[in-house]
Structure 1
Amino acid sequence: MTPGLAQTRKARPADEWAAERIFRPLAQLLVAPAARTKLRPTQVVLFHTGLTLLAAAGLRRGAWLAPALLLQLKTVLDNFDGQLARATDQTTLSGRYLDSEMDVLGNLALLTALHGPLIGPSATLLLSLILSTDYLWERDYRAARGETFRAPAAQQGDNPAVLAALEKFYALYFVPQEQMLSRLFEARLRSVAGPQPTPQDRQAYTPLAALTLSANLGLSSQLLLLGALTLLKRPHWYAPSLAVQAAALLTAQVWRERQVALSRQ
């Protein structure tokens, strides 16, 4: 019997509305038939990356309907690959790295198609920082409450050479971002709580409301927004929206610090 949505979804303290209400339920419809085949999640990742590249090519030509639809199909499949992996015990380190790295490739193609070779890579990096903030805030939320962040992925089935290459790219692109942001968030906590924050300080610093905000800036929401703007024939508004999102996260960070100060009064 194929697991249902509750068993194949990635459990999170805060839900991403677009993923949980739209894309994951649609993706779940594909899990049972796919589980009866030999379809691998990594094949799904490569396929939906191809859809993203097609959407980017369409945006470059000035098309709007086909790219908007392709982006929504890509988002369904982006949720589907993880659900299929969990349903069929195919979660691997290679799969995790490949999914994240192909998303970067797709985002770079989309933003470069819309904004050119100068703004496109910068906007891609800003999007990555927004997504990394959500990753770190969830990690810190769980750590402050003694919860497991993410179960380790199985390495069975990983090709060592492929895994090494994927790990190298992750170390070059993602790790510096995560380290920079992690140090920044820790420094801001210590600026309010002192050099030895207490467990209570860390819980106050990681409120669920801030995590709910960051969760709803996840990739499913990003592509839903870009698709909607494309249907409105305003896809160039997407990059400026990233600056607005970054400002919202900065405001949430100030509020996180304020929660620590209030908890100490």
Structure 2
Amino acid sequence: MDTMPAASSPPSVPTLAQTRKARPGIEWASERVFRPAAQRLIDPFARRGVNPAHLVLFHTALGLYAAHSIRRGGRLTPALLLQVKTVLDNLDGQLARSTGQTTETGRYLDTEMDLVVNAALNMALVGRWGLPLTLLQSLILTVDYLWERDYRAARGEEFRAAPAQSRDNPQLLAALKAVYNAYFVPQEKLIGAVFERRLKARVGPAPTQTQRVAYTPQPITGIAANLGLSTQLLALGACLLLGRPRLYAASLPVQAALLVGVQVWREGQVPAEAERGS
């Protein structure tokens, strides 16, 4: 996401291409369903001066209520709420980008509120096993983050543009960064180190740019992107409607196994691609 203070409505509505976050791997559910739906809401929300940060808090509340409903045996209501939550989760970033309200605070807030909702949903599904399940889910999402980061780094591309605004509340931003550093950064460092070690084991201690490009083929970013949060909540909604909500929880280890398989596959691409480029 990207957020903060409300601004006056823009003279014209940006196109979907202008408000989406460009990525090498496309998440089908987000790009074909949720972002187009969110795009229709940008103009009315911008005209009313809606603060994207308030959207984050609102869709967080929807997600928590959906978790409460699941715990009480609800099916249709939480399934629908999660899809509304996902539309608004896409909208906050699109609104922030279209109205020049992107901030560091908004990015951290969105990420951490998603974590809160995910933990509540997983605990509603499987009780005390919900927290380990949330960690597994976080690791899956972290792989998506790292594969895009490494893809861009290997090609000299910018990974995350600087926020449009610097009017962050220092205390709030510091608190959000502390949470991020405590929970997400260790995952990023650990998994990132494993990926780097696997590459060096394959090609030696000093991988070339050609080898790094070969190690980060575009298809891996597409696979990881389609395990993104929009897809996760769409899948959970489908499982709820089928009356088998725990099927979603069971899918997470399968997703993790898929990513392990993709990792093994991309390691095998390095020598062949390196030879073509040499």
TM range (shorter): over 0.9
Q: CA shift at 1:264, angstroms?
A: 4.0
1:84-139 per-residue CA deviation (whole Å, 9 max, x = no partner) reads 0000000000000000000000000000011002x100010011000010000000
Q: CA shift at 1:159, angstroms?
A: 0.8
What is the match of residue 142 of structure 2? Answer: 132
What is the match of residue 24 of structure 1? Answer: 35
Percent sequence identity over aligned pairs: 61
- Contact persistence 1:93–1:154 (CA under 8 A): no
Cα distance in structure 2, aligned partners of 1:264 and 1:141: 16
What is the match of residue 4 of structure 2? Answer: none
Cα distance in structure 2, aligned partners of 1:182 and 1:12: 19
Q: What amino acid is the match of 1:136?
A: L
What is the match of residue 194 of structure 2? Answer: 184
Residue 155 (structure 2) pairs with residue 149 (structure 1) = no
What is the match of residue 7 of structure 2? Answer: none
Residue 106 (structure 2) pairs with residue 95 (structure 1) = yes
Q: What amino acid is the match of 1:21?
A: R
What is the match of residue 231 of structure 1? Answer: 241
**Residue pairs, 1:1-265, within 5 angstroms:** 1-117=12-128, 119-265=129-275
Q: CA shift at 1:9, angstroms?
A: 0.3
- SS of equivalent residue, structure 2 residue 227: coil
Cα distance in structure 2, aligned partners of 1:58 and 1:146: 46
Cα distance in structure 1, aligned partners of 2:219 and 2:16: 25
Cα distance in structure 2, aligned partners of 1:226 and 1:9: 24
Q: CA shift at 1:261, angstroms?
A: 2.5
Return 5+ residue gaps in structure 2 as ranges: 1-11
Q: CA shift at 1:155, angstroms?
A: 4.5
1:18-46 per-residue CA deviation (whole Å, 9 max, x = no partner) reads 00000000000100111112211110000
Cα distance in structure 2, aligned partners of 1:262 and 1:157: 48
Computed over aligned residues only, the root mean square deviation of the Cα atoms, in angstroms, reads 0.8
TM-score, with length taken from structure 2 = 0.93
- SS of equivalent residue, structure 1 residue 12: coil
1:196-234 per-residue CA deviation (whole Å, 9 max, x = no partner) reads 001110010001111110010000000000000000011
Q: What amino acid is the match of 2:41?
A: L
What is the match of residue 9 of structure 2? Answer: none
1:165-222 per-residue CA deviation (whole Å, 9 max, x = no partner) reads 0010000011000010110100000010110001110010001111110010000000
TM-score, with length taken from structure 1 = 0.98
- Contact persistence 1:92–1:154 (CA under 8 A): yes
- SS of equivalent residue, structure 1 residue 148: coil
Cα distance in structure 2, aligned partners of 1:154 and 1:84: 13
Cα distance in structure 1, aligned partners of 2:274 and 2:13: 49
Q: Which consecutive segments of 4 or more residues in structure 1 shift more than 3 A? A: none
- Contact persistence 2:210–2:274 (CA under 8 A): no
Q: What amino acid is the match of 1:39?
A: V
- SS of equivalent residue, structure 1 residue 63: coil
- Contact persistence 2:101–2:165 (CA under 8 A): no
Q: What amino acid is the match of 1:11?
A: A
Structure 1 window deviating more from structure 2 (156-165 vs 77-86): it is 156-165
Q: What amino acid is the match of 1:261?
A: P
What is the match of residue 6 of structure 2? Answer: none
- The total of aligned residue pairs comes to 264
Q: What amino acid is the match of 1:4?
A: T
Q: What amino acid is the match of 1:40?
A: N
- SS of equivalent residue, structure 2 residue 25: coil
